[in-house]
Amino acid sequence: MNLYILLVSLSLCLILGSCLLVREAPTPQPTPTALPTATPVPKTFRIVGYTPDWDTVVEEVQFDKLTHINYAFLLPNSDGTFKEVANPQKLRDIVTQAHAQGVQVLISVGGWGYDEQFETLATDPKKRSTFVDGLCRYVNNYTLDGADIDWEYPDRGDSARNFLGLMQELRAALPPGKLLTSAVVASGALAEGIPSEVFALVDFLNIMAYDGSETDHSPYGYAEQAMDYWQKLGLPPEKMVLGVPFYSRPGEMPYRMLVQADPAAAYQDKIDYGGNLEYYNGIATIQRKTQLAMQRGSGIMIWELAQDSTDATSLLNAIYQTVHGTPRPFYPAPTPGN
């Protein structure tokens, strides 16, 4: 009996000793490495192109290089109603072809020169309700993906509060899944009428970082200043879309006409055109701005698509390749010899 107890005791000591040894010599663990914090951006970088009703040829739209199209413009009246949209069949054709390629289409409301109408309708609850109801019907009737509000210059004070009220009512009235966006100026006094409370209501803001002067109106530094301005106001990076021009100043010449006159213009930012010095964004600057938007925002916006070329000098193609890193075929394909 004593021998049995002795053997059991020795066995227990051996087992406990093994456990202690294991505890005393744990397996070394790697030291955790701090990971960099990434800027939150959408899964798909936005490439937003405005298509004016007066200038767009549907067959020339490079749908495969876009994520969103803003059809411009639906014009508001001071009583909250709307003028008949120009070229409604063109809008329907764009919606059909865009949706077939997974591109969302929004209707842009207002635009330059329509601040007075917005100022009047937004002050009156009944007119505001008429506007909101009519716009929601319009989005539904044309199978659109949302609305882009181009009340570009609300002032501080009452105007800013009315802008906020209008956006709140639109956000509440639009069906779930429909987009609400707005175009805003780059910085300064004309941007001060956009309350920061709007940031939570919109899916994103299109920052018009162009027309900064009468000549060199959209240099790279101006894009940086615009993003700095809106970032300091609290606009989240995932809602910041940087606007770029496809035209020149002071003559407002479409980029496609500049490269038609001189193919080397694609690789410059200014050109002597008809005896006048025209300033614009060539391929290299557009690529740098796209990289800036990828680093600090969630997309790039274009005014406007019809001003682009459709051959190897295409600015939209330069944007797409910068974002995705792989060439895509041109749409439509260039005519042989051109």
The residue that leads in pLDDT, 332 or 56, is: 56
Query: In this predicted structure, which of 21-35, 128-142, 234-248, 300-314 has the lowest mean pLDDT?
Result: 21-35
- The answer as to whether 157 is a domain residue is yes
| Nearest-angstrom CA–CA distance, 268 and 333 | 24
- The answer as to whether 268 is a domain residue is no
Convert the pLDDT of each residue in 243-272 to its tens digit.
999 999 999 999 999 999 999 999 999 999
Whether residue 22 is predicted with pLDDT greater than 60 in this model: the reply is no
CATH of the domain at 231: 3.20.20.80
User: How large is the average pLDDT for residues 51-61?
Assistant: 94
Convert the pLDDT of each residue in 87-111 to its tens digit.
899 999 999 999 999 999 999 999 9
Q: What is the pLDDT of residue 302?
A: 98
- The answer as to whether 272 is a domain residue is no
Q: What is the pLDDT of residue 27?
A: 40
Dihedral pair phi/psi, residue 193, rounded to 5°: -90, 10
Give the single-character DSSP code of 262.
-
User: What residue numbers bound the domain in which 241 lies?
Assistant: 46-248+282-324
User: How large is the average pLDDT for residues 304-312?
Assistant: 96
Give Cα 254 distance to the centre of its chain: 21
Burial degree of 45 (CB within 10 A; 0-12, 13-18, 19+): buried
The percentage of residues in the chain with a pLDDT greater than 90, rounded to a whole number, is: 81
- The answer as to whether 201 is a domain residue is yes
Q: How many CB atoms lie within 10 A of CB 63?
A: 17
| Nearest-angstrom CA–CA distance, 298 and 236 | 9
Give one DSSP letter per residue of 237-261, joined into a string. GGGEEEEEESB-BTT--BHHHHHHH
- What own/partner pairs with CB < 8 Å and gap ≥ 24 does 311-315 have? 311/338, 313/259, 313/263, 313/266, 313/283, 314/62, 315/244, 315/246, 315/255, 315/281, 315/283, 315/286
User: How large is the average pLDDT for residues 64-80?
Assistant: 98
Number of domains in the chain: 1
- The answer as to whether 21 is a domain residue is no
Q: Which amino acid type is present at position 328? A: R
Q: How confident is the model at residue 12 (pLDDT cuts 50, 70, 90)?
A: very low
Do residues 65 and 47 make contact, with C-beta atoms less than 8 angstroms apart?
A: yes
Convert the pLDDT of each residue in 197-211 to its tens digit.
999 999 999 999 999
| Nearest-angstrom CA–CA distance, 80 and 108 | 15
User: How large is the average pLDDT for residues 41-66?
Assistant: 91
- The answer as to whether 92 is a domain residue is yes
Sign of CA dihedral 308, 309, 315, 321: positive
- The answer as to whether 79 is a domain residue is yes
| Nearest-angstrom CA–CA distance, 155 and 178 | 27
The mean pLDDT value of the chain amounts to: 88
Convert the pLDDT of each residue in 316-327 to its tens digit.
999 999 999 866
Give the single-character DSSP code of 189.
G
Q: How many CB atoms lie within 10 A of CB 129?
A: 14
Q: What is the pLDDT of residue 16?
A: 40
Angle subtended at Cα 70 by Cα 67 and Cα 72, rounded to the nearest 5 degrees: 160
Whether residue 9 is predicted with pLDDT greater than 60 in this model: the reply is no
Q: What is the pLDDT of residue 63?
A: 98
| Nearest in space to 153 (alpha carbons), one of 203, 104, 118 | 118
Q: What is the pLDDT of residue 19?
A: 41
Q: What is the pLDDT of residue 217?
A: 98
Q: What is the pLDDT of residue 337?
A: 35
Q: What is the pLDDT of residue 86?
A: 86
Whether residue 134 is predicted with pLDDT greater than 50 in this model: the reply is yes
- The answer as to whether 35 is a domain residue is no
